[in-house]
Amino acid sequence: MDLPRTPSFRLDGKRALVTGGTRGIGLGAAVALAEAGAAVTVLARTASDIDELTAAAAKAGLKIDGHAVDVTDRERVRSLLGADAVFDILVNSAGLARHAAVGEITEPDYDAVMAVNVKAALFLSQEIASRLIAAGRPGSIIGVSSQMGHVSGPKRAVYSASKFALEGMTKGLAIELGPHNIRVNTICPTFIATELSAKSLADASFRSWVLSKIKLGRLGRIEDIMGPVVFLASDAAALVTGSSLMVDGGWTAE
How high is the pLDDT of residue 133?
98
Mean model confidence pLDDT for the chain: 97
Q: Is residue 8 part of a domain?
A: no
Q: Which domain holds residue 126?
A: 15-244
- Judged against a pLDDT cut of 80, whether residue 161 lies above it is answered with yes
Q: Kindly list the catalytic residues.
A: 159
CA distances from 20 to 141, 146, 202 (A): 15, 15, 23
Give the up-direction half-sphere exposure of residue 11: CA atoms within 13 A in the CB hemisphere: 33
Does 251 reside within a domain? Answer: no
Answer yes or no: are the C-beta atoms of 43 and 79 closer than 8 Å.
Answer: no
Residue 153 lies in a domain: yes
**Is 5 domain-assigned?**
no
| Amino acid of residue 163 | K
Contacts of 201 by beta carbon, 8 Å cutoff, 6+ apart = 191, 193, 207, 210, 219
**Which pLDDT value is given to residue 229?**
98
Residue 172 in this model has a pLDDT that exceeds 90: yes
Which CATH number covers residue 218? Answer: 3.40.50.720
Give the amino acid at 56: A
- 7 domain residue, yes or no: no
Q: Which of 48-52, 195-199, 222-226 is the least confident region?
A: 195-199
Domain assignment present for residue 2? The answer is no
Tell me if residue 250 falls in helix, strand or coil: coil
| Number of domains composing the chain | 1
Question: In this predicted structure, what is the pLDDT of residue 219?
Answer: 96
What is the rounded distance in angstroms from the CA atom of residue 229 to the CA atom of residue 231?
Answer: 5
Give the range among 17-26, 93-102, 149-158, 192-201 with minimum mean pLDDT: 192-201
Q: Could you tell me the pTM of the whole model? A: 0.97
Assess if residue 3 is contained within a domain: no
End-to-end Cα, the chain, rounded Å: 43
Q: What is the mean pLDDT of residues 201-214?
A: 94
Give residue 132's pLDDT. 98
Q: Would you say residue 253 lies in a domain?
A: no
**The pLDDT value given to residue 200:** 83
Is pLDDT of 194 > 90? no
Does residue 2 register a pLDDT over 80? yes
